[in-house]
Amino acid sequence: MPENKKVALKIEGLNKTLGKRHILHDIAFEAYEGEVFGFLGPNGAGKTTTIKCAVGLISMDSGKIEIEGKDVNKDFEGAMANVGGIVENPEMYKYLTARQNLEQYARMRDGVTPERIEEVAKIVGLSNRIDEKVGKYSLGMRQRIGVAQAILHKPKLLILDEPTNGLDPAGIKELRDILKHLAHEEGVCVIVSSHLMSEMELMCDRVGIIANGSMLGVYTLEEMISSSNGATTDYLIKCSDVNRAYELLENDEGYEKKIVNEELEIVAPNENAHEIISAVNRKIILADIGLYEVTKREKKKLEEVFIEMTANGGDQIE
Amino acid sequence: MNKFFSLVKNEYIKILKKKSTLFIFILVAVFAFGMAGLMKIVMYFDEDGLADVKEEMVSYDYSDEIATAKEEKDEKGLNYHTYLQDNKINPTNWKKPLAQAMFGMGDMYDTATVAALTYDGDIYTLYDGFIKNSDWKGYYEFLIKSVGDSEVKWGYQFLLDHDIAPEENSFADDADWRNAVANTYTENTFMAEMAGNDKQKQKCKDMALTAKYRLENDVSVNIAGSSLAEMESGQDSPYESGGIEKQTMWSSFSTSTSVVSFIGLLIIVIAGGIIASEFSNGTIKFLLINPRTRGKILFAKYFTVITIGYIMIILCYIISLISSVIFFGTSDMGAMYVQTSAGVTKHVSGFTYIFEQYLLSSVYVVVMATFAFAISSVVKSSSLAIGLGIFAMSMGENAVQILKKAFNVDAGRYTIFANSNLQTIAMGQTIFPGQTIGFAIAVIVIHMAVFLLTAWDGFVRRDV
């Protein structure tokens, strides 16, 4: 999808060593305005290190990072004017109220009005507690104020490191909706890092997979799903007489059938799977066999694909 | 610039919203205010003793001296003391030196006795006439004649010109300060002319010049020598013959400069925490991902530490002034600092002088705060930074002194500890001989540069 889109974050040939350990090997990817980009990898793969390099928290050995076309190393202030983010835990000044915390960040960025602070508090659902001291906040509440400070100045690039940490399921859903809204309606490039594929597939348009400090690739969600499914669809059929049903279908062409655990398994090519399964159903019913259940068997989940992809990365770093 | 001051505003809010810093401010205020009260209490007890002395002097009874003289068959002493008793001349009376000269009891430093030597007639009759008639004008004119071309005569002429009668009782509360100061002038001028060595001569001349300045410019209270640092350095207040030093607001206001070192401790606490606490709270990452370079953030933090220090110093100055006025009243507001050294008279208003003292002692505070700031930046631990800062501030100077005295280590003269206390160096009271203000400033500049570069390196180039 993204060829005609504007590049929000561009990382090229990023290398980083800490002591003797080579933590990042030639990381390179691009993320675009208007998409939610999942940055996926197991713990210690180098996600946070990459993000820290991108926002200038740590230096890089080699490589180039551009945010909205501005080099982080050469024009730090210009680049950072377009970035909002949470890196690791959202720690705030505990003895200040949420509003005072947000005011701190407002003063360090340009063009944030008091109304914008109210607006942002409303977006993340903090309005009624904005004048409480942050020290009293739960982790979930702190995560919200972290998001609030990140989007305060309407950045074109929003980087969130493990943002669902500490959020309850309702909070996760809310956050997901906020991020999708920002990306798809307001054209923000949202980069979310996570080690959970299940979380990513619910909100990301594309995912970049990193393991052991190297990029394994960047995929759209559709690409991920089709790579996990293959060319055929499996159905499982429960009925009153499995053997008779099998005999009934034995001579049909164009699909495979077998009995597995007292169930009939049908493996049909994707392109005409629906026609085949409806024909099979009809035959069973017309033969007066009791049809209890027809289910589509889930093949590998995205999670499994992800684990497979990253497993050959082998040893973990950090 | 606006961006920079936004950063500074952020730092101020972060510091002032902390309960601990608020407590620090209150502590400084209470301390500054309490100094004058403490001074008042101390002086109250001193005053008690003084009142007795005054009482005794005013109605001095020479019966004991007379009895002793009788016993020892000391006819001269007997006549002298009887004369004093009969004419009610207490020991602080201007007539006493005259009586001494009449009976040959004075010494060669005594103007009345020295003047008598130049008189051809009967000195007894002459002085007796001055005493009986309280003819101080005649006495002064006689003195002027007797000293010839000497500078001394200026003092008597001044008193004559301004019609200032000498005191029958110099210890009285309403004694005219000008008598005491004029005495200081004449005695020191006289002694300068008599003095054998040049150093002594210069010292007396300087004191006379100071006295002359005060008389010419109507400076009733001179606060030179009254600040704590000067007292400790053994620099006496200019010798004033006769009279008792008045207790004024300046007595407490000028000692308030000692509060500055207390402020130093508190500034170290702030400087030691301002960077380290961002790390320990985890807020550093959120601070650094803003469109402001680290250099600007660091500078804003340093600027905040230093300005808070000076705000505290100014607050302390104002509070001390107010409390001094509350406890000691507003008389003598026009007091000045008049001090002559090598013939050059420095004179500034008391307010200016004390402010100068505050600023001079603030240099030490700034240096130590910068040290704690640098440590805070490098080790990311506020407790270590504060601990080292306070240790250096309180022990550094002592350590250098001990090394010098016990092991004769001279290298200490190049350390910051021997050079950052500009207040004492300005007064010439240095740990090592031959230290100058210029050298001290050079050492301070070098150390500050090293501290700031260390802080810069620790903060700007660090992976967070």
Q: In this complex, do B17 and A89 lie within 8 Å of one another by their Cβ atoms? A: no
> In this structure, how many other beta carbons lie within 10 angstroms of the beta carbon of residue B34?
14
B241 within domain boundaries: no
Same domain for B63 and B42?
A: no
When CB atoms are compared, the residue of B282, B285, B293 closest to A57 is B285
- Specify the pairing of strand A83-86 against strand A157-161: parallel
Asked if A33 and A154 count as a contact pair (C-beta separation under 8 A), the reply is: no
Closest chain B C-alpha to A87 CA, distance in angstroms:
7
Question: Using a CB-CB distance cutoff of 8 angstroms, which residues of chain B are in contact with residue A109?
Answer: 290-291
What is the total count of domains within chain B? 2
Q: Can you give the pLDDT at residue B236?
A: 42
Residue of chain B whose Cα is closest to the Cα of A93: B283
Buried b (16+ CB within 10 A) or exposed e, A221-236: beebeeebeeeebbbe
pLDDT score of B245: 60
CA atoms of A25 and B336, how far apart (whole Å): 73
pLDDT in tens, B1-20: 788 999 999 999 999 998 88
Do residue B283 and residue A92 have CB atoms under 8 angstroms apart?
A: yes
Report the topology of domain A231-297. Answer: Alpha-Beta Plaits (3.30.70)
Question: Looking at the domain assignment, is residue B449 inside a domain?
Answer: yes
Nearest CA in chain B to A88: B285
One-letter amino acid for residue B300 of the chain: A
pLDDT of residue A312: 61
B207-227 tens-digit pLDDT: 888 889 988 888 888 877 655
**Residue B237: inside a domain, yes or no?**
no
**What are φ and ψ of residue B237, in 5° steps?**
-70, 150
| Closest residue by Cα to residue A258 from A276, A270, A245 | A245
With beta carbons under 8 A apart, name residues in chain A contacting B289.
Answer: 55-57, 80, 83, 85, 87
Predicted local distance difference test score (pLDDT) of residue B239: 37
- What the block records as the tokens of B439 is 């050298």
The yes/no answer to whether this complex scores an ipTM above 0.90 is: no
State whether B109 and B31 are in the same domain. Answer: no
Q: Which CATH superfamily is domain A2-82+155-227 in?
A: P-loop containing nucleotide triphosphate hydrolases (3.40.50.300)
* Co-location of B315 and B357 in the same domain: yes
Q: Are residues B356 and B302 located together in one domain of the fold?
A: yes
- DSSP symbol at A97: B
**pLDDT at site B246:** 63
DSSP, collapsed to helix, strand or coil, labels residue A209 as strand
Task: Give a yes or no: residue B52 inside a domain.
Answer: no
Query: So what's the pLDDT on residue A318?
Result: 33
* In a shared domain, residues B374 and B265: yes
Are B434 and B308 part of one and the same domain?
yes
B12 and B134 co-located in one domain: no
Q: Label residue A44 exposed, middle or buried (CB < 10 Å: 0-12, 13-18, 19+).
A: middle
Domain identity same for B327 and B381 = yes
Residues of chain A with pLDDT under 50: 1-2, 314-318
For chain A, which residues make up each domain, given as ranges? 2-82+155-227, 231-297
Q: Which residue from A minimizes the CA distance to B463?
A: A58
Whether B320 maps to a domain, the answer reads: yes
Q: Pick the residue of A68, A93, A149 with the most B CBs within 10 A to test the interface with B by mutation.
A: A93
Among candidates A103, A108, A110 on the partner chain, residue whose Cβ is nearest the Cβ of B7:
A108
Q: What is the pLDDT along chain B (464 residues), one digit of tens a residue?
A: 788 999 999 999 999 998 888 888 888 889 889 888 888 888 777 777 777 777 777 778 888 888 888 888 888 888 888 888 888 888 888 888 888 888 888 777 777 888 888 887 888 888 888 888 888 888 888 888 887 777 888 988 899 899 888 888 777 777 788 888 888 888 888 888 877 788 888 888 888 888 899 888 888 888 776 555 454 444 444 334 344 566 778 878 888 888 888 888 889 999 999 999 999 989 999 999 999 999 999 999 999 999 999 999 999 999 999 999 998 888 778 788 888 888 888 888 889 988 988 998 899 889 989 999 999 999 888 888 899 888 888 888 888 888 888 888 788 888 888 888 887 887 777 888 878 888 999 999 999 999 999 999 999 988 88
As given in the structure block, the two tokens for residue B455 are: 């802080």
Closest CA of chain A from B6, distance in Å: 6
- The answer on B371 and B257 residing in a single domain is yes
* Contact between B285 and A87 using a beta-carbon 8 Å cutoff: yes
**Distance between CA A128 and CA A121 in Å, rounded?**
9
Question: Taking CB atoms and an 8 Å cutoff, what residues of chain A touch B6?
Answer: 107-108
Residues B391 and B444 in one domain: yes
Q: Which two tokens stand for residue A199?
A: 């979380």
Residue contact A93–B283, C-beta within 8 A: yes
Nearest C-alpha neighbor of B86 from the set B75, B97, B78: B78
Q: Answer whether B243's CB lies under 8 Å from B179's CB.
A: yes
In a domain, B408, yes or no: yes
Q: Which two tokens mark A225?
A: 């799903």
User: Residue B360, Cα to own-chain centre: how many angstroms?
Assistant: 13
A222 min Cα distance to partner chain B (Å): 33
Residues B276, B214 share a domain: no
CB contact (8 A) between residue B290 and residue A85: no
B65 and B40 part of one domain: no
User: What is the chain A residue with the closest CA to B7?
Assistant: A108
- pLDDT, position B244: 53
Indicate whether B26 belongs to any domain.
Answer: yes
Using a CB–CB cut-off of 8 Å, the residues of B that contact A are 6-7, 9-10, 13-14, 17-19, 281-283, 285-293, 461, 463-464
Is B313 a member of any domain?
yes
> Which residue range(s) make up the domain with B78?
59-218
CB contact under 8 A, A100 and B13: yes
